Amino acid sequence: MIDIQEFVARRACFIDQMDLNSIAIFCAADELTRSHDTEFPFCQNKNFLYLTGFNEPQALLVLTKDALGNGQSTLFCRDKDPLQEVWHGRRVGAELAKEKYAFDQTFTLEQADEQIVAMLKHKSSLYTVHNENDAFDSQIFDWLSAVKSGVKAGDKAPSQLIDCSGMLAEMRLIKSQAELAVMRKANEITANAHVRAMKNCQVGMFEYQIEAEVHHEFAFNGARHPAYGSIVAGGDNANILHYTDNSDVLKDNELLLIDAGGELDGYASDITRTFPINGKFTPAQKEIYQLVLDAQIASIEAIKPGVSFAQLNDIVHEVFTKGLVELGILQGDFDTLMEEKACKQYFIHGLGHWLGLDVHDVGDYDIDENRRQNRAFEPGMIMTIEPGLYIPLDAEVDDKYKGIGVRIEDNVVVTENGYENYSLGVPKTIADIEALMAS
């Protein structure tokens, strides 16, 4: 768990960046109906969680900065209600929230309209995250209208509306030691889940049975929910990038691709492994698998401060182009194939992404007109590295490669001098996978 003082420091850091005489308002996530009167498991809005640590729906955070630069934090939340709590679960309540989450002041949600309208008066700028929640956007305009209705009495509403999603993204992109500790643990749990899948996999099982093994390991170890829809894709299903049906039978001599990560204390992990269902790679599977592994290792080994995703992509393209030519899957002159980015026919997604409270975490990639991601890595950034090769059944290649889809994905943090790979708890070399599955 992240210490409450870290949330206080994040709010202070945000307030530091606000204009003098300004206000910021953030909204908690809503509960989402699954069907009729049942809801999906609650998932807090990640910006709200980042600034508060408060994990209930129907709450508002207001940060203000006066003309002298003094900041204040205010939480509005549901009040205690014995009848509601006996049906739907405990609430922190406004009084306890002040102390437990270290806000300067707290109010009940019923007090929000009056208090927020008062706080908005005479502020110059209003910061919110735009276009995330329609009801909240229109609520903001209702509050502004209420302030403007007092214009004759001398009231003024903020004239500048600022979308602060970029400010928060920059803060969230560089992880603290406490965040990295949680993400390391999320990776350990997730790595063990992949190991469990490898150990329990048998020809004739169904994809959902392996999914159950993975989810058991997550939940049993405190990562109660997957960070995203788990992909458990046997054979050619691996060539559907976001395959989540997970309903097919697992066949002999085919590969199983599992892309699954547990979420711990709000932080995602995102690991992919691809392994033979019967425990032994075929020669053709070995060729494709080793090529993906070589590309993954070469790109991870290049990670250090100052390097960018664009540079890692160049490394992967070189390994893939050379390897695919050697296997006869690509034909032609190496330099021309590199220029044409010919390997993208089989490597059909990006090399990786930032990871954090969201699986595809926030943070600018500094993308140029050639779609190259030039953002220089800095210590504390954490990313996935996930090259893959996808050869569907209708690909124009030797039959032995058809229906093979391989992705290998690790979560890697940038350190002062290089990198640390958090996903080493699950094997990825051919020898190590076969040894684990034989044990």
Mark 395-414 with x for binding to ligand GLY (rule: CB under 6 A) and - for no binding.
--------------x-----
**Residue 293 CB, nearest approach to ligand GLY (Å):** 17
Respond yes or no: is residue 349 known to be catalytic.
Answer: yes
Q: Which does 228 bind (CB under 5 to 8 A by kind): ligand GLY, Mn ion, none?
A: ligand GLY
- Which residue lies nearer to ligand GLY by CB, 79 or 270? 270
Respond yes or no: is residue 407 known to be catalytic.
Answer: yes
Q: Report the C-alpha gap between 399 and 392 in whole angstroms.
A: 10
- Which residue lies nearer to Mn ion by CB, 94 or 292? 292
Respond yes or no: is residue 242 known to be catalytic.
Answer: yes
Note whether 321 and 330 are within 8 A (CB): yes
**Residue 242 CB, nearest approach to ligand GLY (Å):** 8
The catalytically annotated residue of 90, 242, 394, 398 is 242
Note whether 250 and 205 are within 8 A (CB): yes
- List the interface residues with ligand GLY, window 213-242 (CB under 6 A): 228
Respond yes or no: is residue 216 known to be catalytic.
Answer: no
Q: Does 259 bind ligand GLY (CB under 6 A)?
A: yes
Alpha carbon distances (Å) from 430 to 238, 256, 273, 363, 408: 18, 14, 11, 34, 12
- List the interface residues with Mn ion, window 394-423 (CB under 5 A): 409
The catalytically annotated residue of 407, 419, 422, 434 is 407
Respond yes or no: is residue 225 known to be catalytic.
Answer: no
Q: Does 434 bind ligand GLY (CB under 6 A)?
A: no
The catalytically annotated residue of 56, 211, 213, 259 is 259
Q: Does 270 bind Mn ion (CB under 5 A)?
A: yes
Note whether 76 and 64 are within 8 A (CB): no
- List the interface residues with Mn ion, window 172-211 (CB under 5 A): none
**Residue 411 CB, nearest approach to Mn ion (Å):** 9
**Residue 86 CB, nearest approach to ligand GLY (Å):** 38
The catalytically annotated residue of 101, 243, 267, 390 is 390
Respond yes or no: is residue 259 known to be catalytic.
Answer: yes
Respond yes or no: is residue 36 known to be catalytic.
Answer: no
Q: Does 384 bind Mn ion (CB under 5 A)?
A: yes
- List the interface residues with ligand GLY, window 358-397 (CB under 6 A): 359, 386
Mark 317-346 with x for binding to ligand GLY (rule: CB under 6 A) and - for no binding.
------------------------------
Residues that bind ligand GLY (CB under 6 A): 228, 259, 270, 353, 359, 386, 409
Residues annotated as catalytic are 37, 242, 259, 270, 349, 353, 360, 386, 390, 407, 409
Residues that bind Mn ion (CB under 5 A): 259, 270, 272, 384, 409
